[in-house]
């Protein structure tokens, strides 16, 4: 016979175990995957690729590049040394603020000067460092010849579920960068399309 008091704890336990999966699972979240794949489609190979964006971008890049083995010709460097070994010295984790930026400038400018392959950055704040870079699509080129980017090859941001707050910021920044790149190329239609995407996302 049904005994509510006897089965209630079990029913509650099953509900509590299932609730996070039902409401937090991210099978339809493509923001990071699409953004990093856009980066990969922009990059030549071989190349040095320095990522200086949100942690999620560095983690996703590390996963696709290091775990799945995509774009094996890249040398991926996390400028925060969170997912790749530090190229900035053993004391890098203890340095913050302007001294950290000066260390980065010194090491990265030397790396760029010595590199025999193109060097690219993923960053939202290129003026933060005294490192000469030119915008190229969603990335910034520090060394190497300009490349013609076919925007039709890049992913449209897929959206099969509501963005989390962090995903919303990342998607907005992607559209903003694409709009700024379009303006720089004189592509008014492309700029308008991406500014609309930023407005809808943000």
CB 186 within 8 A of CB 62: no
CA 54 to chain centre: 7
Mean pLDDT lowest among 13-17, 18-22, 33-37: 18-22
Calculate mean pLDDT across residues 105-133.
Answer: 96
Average pLDDT, the chain: 85
Question: Quick check: 92 pLDDT over 60?
Answer: yes
Continuous segment of H or E residues that includes residue 146: none
DSSP 23-60: HH--TTB-HHHHHHHHHHHH--SSEEEEEES-HHHHHH
Calculate mean pLDDT across residues 135-151.
Answer: 89
What pLDDT does residue 149 have?
A: 76
Looking at the DSSP bridge assignments, the partners of residue 141 are 120, 134
> CA-CA-CA-CA torsion for 129, 70, 41, 38, nearest 10 degrees?
-70
What pLDDT does residue 100 have?
A: 95
Question: Quick check: 84 pLDDT over 80?
Answer: yes
Query: What is the per-residue pLDDT across 180-197, written as a single tens digit (0 to 9) for each?
Result: 988 998 999 989 988 998
CB 124 within 8 A of CB 140: no
Mean pLDDT lowest among 8-12, 42-46, 197-201: 8-12
Supply 114's token pair.
């010595």
- pTM metric for this prediction: 0.79
Q: Backbone phi, then psi, for 77, in 5-degree steps?
A: -130, 120
What pLDDT does residue 140 have?
A: 95
CA 169 to chain centre: 11
């Amino acid at each position: 016979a049904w005994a509510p008091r006897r089965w209630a704890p079990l029913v509650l336990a099953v509900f509590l175990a299932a609730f996070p999966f039902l409401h937090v699972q991210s099978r339809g979240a493509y923001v990071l995957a699409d953004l990093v794949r856009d980066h990969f489609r922009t990059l030549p190979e071989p190349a040095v690729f320095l990522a200086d964006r949100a942690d999620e971008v560095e983690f996703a890049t590390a996963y696709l590049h290091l775990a799945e083995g995509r774009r094996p010709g890249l040398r991926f460097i996390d400028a925060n040394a969170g997912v790749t070994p530090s190229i900035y010295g053993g004391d890098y984790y203890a340095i913050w603020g302007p001294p950290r930026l000066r260390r980065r400038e010194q090491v990265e400018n030397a790396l760029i000067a010595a590199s025999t392959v193109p060097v690219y950055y993923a960053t939202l704040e290129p003026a933060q460092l005294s490192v000469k870079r030119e915008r190229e699509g969603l990335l910034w080129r520090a060394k190497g010849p300009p490349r013609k980017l076919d925007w039709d090859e890049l992913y449209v941001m897929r959206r099969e579920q509501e963005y989390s707050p962090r995903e919303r910021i990342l998607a907005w920044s992607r559209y903003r960068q694409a709009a700024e790149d379009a303006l720089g190329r004189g592509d008014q239609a492309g700029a308008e399309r991406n500014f609309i995407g930023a407005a809808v996302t943000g």
